[in-house]
Amino acid sequence: MGIPMLWLIVLFLIPFIIVFKISFSEVRLAMPPYAPLFEWLNGKLVAVKLNFGNYSYLFTDALYVSSYLYSLKVAAVSTVMCLLLGYPMAYAIARSNPTTRTVLLMLIVLPFWTSFLLRVYAWIGLLKTNGVINNVLMSMGIIHEPITMLQTDFAVYVGIVYSYLPFMILPLYSNLEKHDLTLIEAAADLGAGPFTAFRRVTLPQSLPGIIAGSLLVFIPAVGEYVIPSLLGRTDQLMIGRVLSDEFFENRDWPVASAVAIFMLGLLVVPMMLFQHFEKRTIEARK
Amino acid sequence: MSTQPPGQAQAPYLRIENVTKRFGDFIAVNDVSLHVQRGEIFCLLGGSGSGKTTLLRMLAGFETPSSGKIFIDGQDMSEIAPYDRPVNMMFQSYALFPHMTVEKNVAFGLEQERLGRQEIKRRVGEILEIVKMSQFTARKPHQLSGGQRQRVALARALVKRPKLLLLDEPLAALDRKLREHTQFELINIQEQLGVTFVVVTHDQEEAMTLSSRMGVMNHGQIVQVGTPTDIYEFPATRFVADFIGSVNMFEGKLIEDEPDFVRIRSEELGGVIYVSHGISSAPAATVWVAVRPEKINISRRPPTPGSGVHQPEAGAGENVVRGTVKEIAYMGDMSIYLVQAESGKTIRVTIPNVARHMEDRITWDETVYLSWHAESPVVLTR
Amino acid sequence: MKSHGLFSRTVLVFGLVFLYVPILSMVVFSFNNSRLVTVWDSANSPTMKWYAALMSNDQILGAAWLSIRIAMIAASGAVVLGTLAGIALVRFGAFRGRALLAGMTTAPLVMPEVITGLSLLLLFVAMEQAIGWPKGGGAVTITLAHITFCMAYVTVVVQSRLVGFDESLEEAAMDLGARPVKVFFRITLPLIVPALVSGWLLAFTLSWDDLVISQFVAGPGSSTLPMVIFSKVRLGVSPDVNALATIMVLVVASGIVASSIWMRYQNKRRERDMRLAASANL
């Protein structure tokens, strides 16, 4: 028990502390490219240079503000779309007979085991100007000019929904599968039509699954890097891309750290919510 | 309250002394003291929450007492972990290792003792012979039926020749027919091997059949200890009388208290009860009289004095009550009558169906007279 | 009720199509002769030339080999640590730092990879400054990073398996004289092996597939397969990547199909055994 704890403290907690610390330092043209926070002279702590400038930079520069907001928006929209697609799918699987169910689950999970990167790449081929979709639509005469689909918000939504769909379906399925169907029968017996029964019996019970699935999609989506890089806009970047650029291209580690810390701050509440739900699901299973 | 059976000079094999177990604010076992003799089958009988399972787990070593001590064959178990105790347990769910064969399951305990392979094989063979599972050595638990699994679990616990064998609801998972059969098998095996058994159960029938002595537990305390006959015929408290079998309980006031008889007037019954033995405890104003359903006689005419139903010393109208038959349940071997006395109290009577054709059987709404022998009632003061 | 079922089933079909069309298109176009990938060159297709090109592409092969090695080590490390953490969280009631351990093991599940990647790199740099190791990036740092974030997934899998585990089996073993360590190795571990296996496979896949974290912590000399692929596809589609994708899909699909057939077989045998036993006399 001590070993994983130690490992995680060193490789997980401490890195965060470091990021936190560096977010306060100044950028330097050196290796490593940041100034030390504490000045030591003859073994005594002489000065502490805390640079809040990095953080104020975040708030004042339009690039950062817009990136954060954009990321949140994209993540939120994608999550909703993922939910709208994933819920009926999970429902259909939960209501099918056991043999079909195993096959269906296998089908849902199989793409997950193939490379994430390659699957996103596949969409490039589909969404390109002379890509498959445009070619098919043009040859069928539905459109006469290719539609621009790559490097748009739309492409990012599709990419996120596509990649994270299994993460939405599985918690939903796991919740829906446990529902007692006789409750629906009881509702019907009491005069509720199928939609009412769904709205008032199934939906409320599936709320934990909805929340778990949504958080599982939303939180990582905010910081997504691969999908916006391959499919997304070039004029408006998501925050994951901004962080990476800040780090690799500008070599401004302090600012990159500040970006990371702030992103963490934004996500802390959803993350704690997720943990709370994880705990509850595990305990409910006991 | 002495729990040692009379005439036993040797020191008790298992000594539980003032053991208490607390979980936070909740007291599961409350100052329990108990002696069990070597070679006995001792049953702890109680409902859920009575503390019996906790007590058993403390004997096994899975829980430590909050206070008090446990001695097995004179040895203090306080610092001794479950794997070092000369005690073995047969779990309610059997807990057979699913990934091991029957043979390996039974051998597991012996392997921990670092015995030689030949020795292990021999002893495993021996014990499987005794439980009649020799032809199933290569099977895995999921390939066995419930009764077979139980026997393997028993074999696994017994093969180590423990000083004490603990059984947690041993017959709970078996169906009725199997249960009866297994009850007697357990007794046979115990006699054959001479191991001391401590059984925990909520089933009175199980306790009554298996035990040489039993203890009734309620709310973490031992309420009464004795042989099954003692517990059934001479319950010490209302709880015990009510818990074991069914009983009719009448509240009343002592009107005469003599060394060899007492008289009680009961409003609940609507009459006087004459009991032909004295009460040993201090006379209290209010007492309860317990009469077992099978000790009550039912007839259409009032019993005549001297007809052999009750002692001559009893006055007329004592130990008799008139009522109307409200319910009859025919159980095949016996019938249960629920009779409502004139006082309003419902009295339960069981009558064995001794004759096959009883055209003249007492039926619903008939007026009947219930009576009992003066020796039958038990007077309880608590 | 019926209309309900119909709607969700339609969406299900649509969803499955949605999931598989991109994969299928990649596979189809891997056999396309044209370099333009998405324009089918019917005159010269289908062809295996991209597969041949793939086989002789040292950069890709080298990266693939590196990725496999890293993934195997990372998966194994993650399983060991993740199992220990999972057991600690399920079995050891409350202990000091429990909330912390629980938090640190669930956080990576949702944490955006850029944050994990950045923080780990900064750690390695700071360590290099302080104690001179690790020097630059490299396979070592990547492996360490992968173990850290994969561990979380293994913990969740192990936790969920242990929660349903029958503790009386462990108690029975102790009752029969086995000390706790023995109990763990002879009783607990064998019975959670399926969870460990799926945890290993999960960790392997996550490590093998990881791009972002690897980019942050890799050194100049080491490029994992995803890193190589990414730099290629930033520039646009590339048919040898299609070929690679097809191979991977085939491997994964056959693996999954094989394992589910095997599991079905096991279940059928088990059921048959239990039925036989139940019908036996006593």
List, as one string, the DSSP characters of B102-143: HHHHHHHHHHHTT--HHHHHHHHHHHHHHTT-GGGTT--GGG
Q: Who wins on pLDDT, B280 or C269?
A: C269
Pull the structure tokens for residue B74.
């004179």
Residue whose C-alpha is closest to residue A4's, from C75, C146, C107, C105: C105
| Test mutation, C114, C151, C252, chain A, max A CBs within 10 A | C114
- Which residues from A are below 8 Å from C23, CB to CB? 111, 114, 119, 122
Q: pLDDT tier at B10 (50, 70, 90 boundaries)? A: low
Q: Give the integer Cα–Cα distance in Å for B341 and B333.
A: 25
- Residue B26 is given by DSSP the state E
Query: Helix, strand or coil for residue A68?
Result: helix
Which residue bears the tokens 């059934």?
B232
Among candidates B89, B92, B139 on the partner chain, residue whose Cβ is nearest the Cβ of C175: B89
Which residue bears the tokens 């926070």?
A37
| Test mutation, C119, C235, C246, chain A, max A CBs within 10 A | C119
| Dihedral class, residue B237 (left if φ above 0, else alpha if ψ from -120 to 50, else beta) | beta
0.90 surpassed by pTM = no
Across the strands, what pairs with B297?
Answer: B371
- Residue A27 is given by DSSP the state B
Q: pLDDT tier at A39 (50, 70, 90 boundaries)? A: very low
Check if the beta carbon of residue A63 is closer than 8 Å to that of residue A246.
no
- Residue B282 is given by DSSP the state P
b/e C82-100 (16+ beta carbons within 10 angstroms → b): bbbbbbbbbeeeeeeeeee
Q: How far is CA B262 from CA A97, B252, B379, in A?
A: 72, 12, 9
Mean local confidence (pLDDT), A227-245: 87
- Residue B84 is given by DSSP the state G
* Nearest chain C alpha carbon to B178: C282
What does the pLDDT look like over C34-85, one tens digit per residue? 776 666 766 666 778 888 888 888 888 888 999 999 999 999 988 988 888 8
B218 pLDDT more than 90: yes
Q: Give the integer Cα–Cα distance in Å for B226 and B210.
A: 13
Q: Give the integer Cα–Cα distance in Å for C266 and C274.
A: 12
Neighbour subunits, A (≥3 Cβ pairs < 8 A): C
3-state percent helix, strand, coil for chain B, nearest multiple of 5:
25, 35, 40
Which residue bears the tokens 């239990």?
C274
- Taking residue B33's Cβ as centre, other Cβ atoms within 10 Å add up to 14
Contact C144 A11 (CB under 8 A): yes
- Residue B315 is given by DSSP the state P
Mean local confidence (pLDDT), B7-27: 83
Residue whose C-alpha is closest to residue A195's, from C11, C13, C5: C5
Among candidates C177, C278, C280 on the partner chain, residue whose Cβ is nearest the Cβ of B109: C177
Contact C273 B91 (CB under 8 A): no
Check if the beta carbon of residue B45 is closer than 8 Å to that of residue B38.
no
Among candidates B60, B148, B178 on the partner chain, residue whose Cβ is nearest the Cβ of C175: B60
CA angle B327, B331, B334 (to 5 degrees): 90
| Test mutation, A3, A10, A12, A108, chain C, max C CBs within 10 A | A12
Query: Helix, strand or coil for residue B145?
Result: coil
- Would strands B196-201 and B41-46 be described as parallel, antiparallel, or unpaired? parallel
pLDDT for the residue numbered C134: 66
R_g over Cα of chain C: 24
CA angle A210, C90, A218 (to 5 degrees): 25
Residue whose C-alpha is closest to residue C63's, from C201, C214, C205: C214
Pull the structure tokens for residue A131.
């890509």
- Residue B197 is given by DSSP the state E
B291 pLDDT more than 50: yes
Check if the beta carbon of residue A232 is closer than 8 Å to that of residue A156.
yes
Furthest-apart CA atoms within chain A: distance in Å: 84
Q: Give the integer Cα–Cα distance in Å for A238 and A257.
A: 16
Distance from CA of B153 to the nearest CA of C (A): 10
Check if the beta carbon of residue C51 is closer than 8 Å to that of residue C30.
yes
Among candidates B81, B87, B93 on the partner chain, residue whose Cβ is nearest the Cβ of C168: B93
- Which residues from A are below 8 Å from C122, CB to CB? 15, 18-19, 22, 253, 257
Phi, psi of C48 (to 5 degrees): -105, 15
pLDDT for the residue numbered B60: 92
Q: Who wins on pLDDT, B256 or A156?
A: A156
Check if the beta carbon of residue A76 is closer than 8 Å to that of residue A84.
no
Check if the beta carbon of residue A267 is closer than 8 Å to that of residue A219.
yes
Query: Helix, strand or coil for residue A115?
Result: coil
Q: pLDDT tier at B1 (50, 70, 90 boundaries)? A: very low
b/e A189-221 (16+ beta carbons within 10 angstroms → b): eeebebeebbeebbeeebebbbbbbbbbbbbbb
- Which residues from A are below 8 Å from C103, CB to CB? 275
Q: Which of A1-5, A49-53, A211-215, C118-122 has the lowest mean pLDDT?
A: A49-53
- Taking residue B155's Cβ as centre, other Cβ atoms within 10 Å add up to 23
pLDDT for the residue numbered C70: 92
pLDDT for the residue numbered C245: 87
Q: Give the integer Cα–Cα distance in Å for B197 and B195.
A: 6
pLDDT for the residue numbered B281: 61
Contact C229 A114 (CB under 8 A): no
Check if the beta carbon of residue C61 is closer than 8 Å to that of residue C132.
no
Q: How far is CA B325 from the centre of its chain?
A: 31
Q: Who wins on pLDDT, B281 or B218?
A: B218
Check if the beta carbon of residue B220 is closer than 8 Å to that of residue B27.
yes
- Residue A3 CB partners (closer than 8 Å, separation 6+): C81, C84
Check if the beta carbon of residue B339 is closer than 8 Å to that of residue B366.
no
Q: How far is CA A33 from CA A203, A250, C103, in A?
A: 52, 10, 31
Q: Which of A55-64, A229-238, A239-248, A265-274 has the lowest mean pLDDT?
A: A55-64
Q: Give the integer Cα–Cα distance in Å for C142 and B370.
A: 90
Q: Give the integer Cα–Cα distance in Å for A214 and A78.
A: 10
pLDDT for the residue numbered C282: 45
Three-state SS for chain C is CHHHHHHHHHHHHHHHHHHHHHHHHHHHHCCCCCCCCCCCCCCCCCCCHHHHHHHCCHHHHHHHHHHHHHHHHHHHHHHHHHHHHHHHHHHCCCCCCHHHHHHHHHHHHHCCHHHHHHHHHHHHHHHHHHHCCCCCCCHHHHHHHHHHHHHHHHHHHHHHHHHCCCHHHHHHHHHCCCCHHHHHHHHHHHHHHHHHHHHHHHHHHHHHHCCHHHHHHCCCCCCCHHHHHHHHHCCCCCHHHHHHHHHHHHHHHHHHHHHHHHHHHHHHHHHHHHHHHHHCCC
pLDDT along chain C (282 residues), means of 10: 71 90 86 71 74 85 90 92 82 70 76 82 77 71 86 85 84 91 88 88 90 85 87 80 87 86 85 78 48
- Residue B7 CB partners (closer than 8 Å, separation 6+): none
Q: Give the integer Cα–Cα distance in Å for B336 and B36.
A: 37
Residue whose C-alpha is closest to residue A104's, from A90, A94, A93, A113: A93
- Which residues from C are below 8 Å from B92, CB to CB? 168
pLDDT for the residue numbered B154: 92
Residue whose C-alpha is closest to residue A216's, from A263, A253, A139, A164: A164
pLDDT for the residue numbered C53: 84
Chains A and C touch (3+ CB pairs under 8 A): yes
Contact C85 A123 (CB under 8 A): no
b/e A234-266 (16+ beta carbons within 10 angstroms → b): eebbbbbbbbbebbeeebbbbbbbbbbbbbbeb
What does the pLDDT look like over A128-163, one tens digit per residue? 887 788 888 888 887 777 778 888 889 999 999 999
B164 pLDDT more than 50: yes
Check if the beta carbon of residue B292 is closer than 8 Å to that of residue B247.
yes
- Would strands B164-168 and B196-201 be described as parallel, antiparallel, or unpaired? parallel
Contact A113 C205 (CB under 8 A): yes
Q: Who wins on pLDDT, B38 or A275?
A: B38
Across the strands, what pairs with B253?
Answer: B265, B286
Rounded to the nearest integer, the mean pLDDT of chain B is 87
Helix C139-163 to helix C98-110 angle (10° resolution) is 110
Mean local confidence (pLDDT), B303-321: 66
Q: Is the peptide bond before A32 cis (omega within 30 degrees of 0)?
A: yes
Distance from CA of C282 to the nearest CA of A (A): 32
A177 pLDDT more than 80: yes
Mean local confidence (pLDDT), B206-213: 90
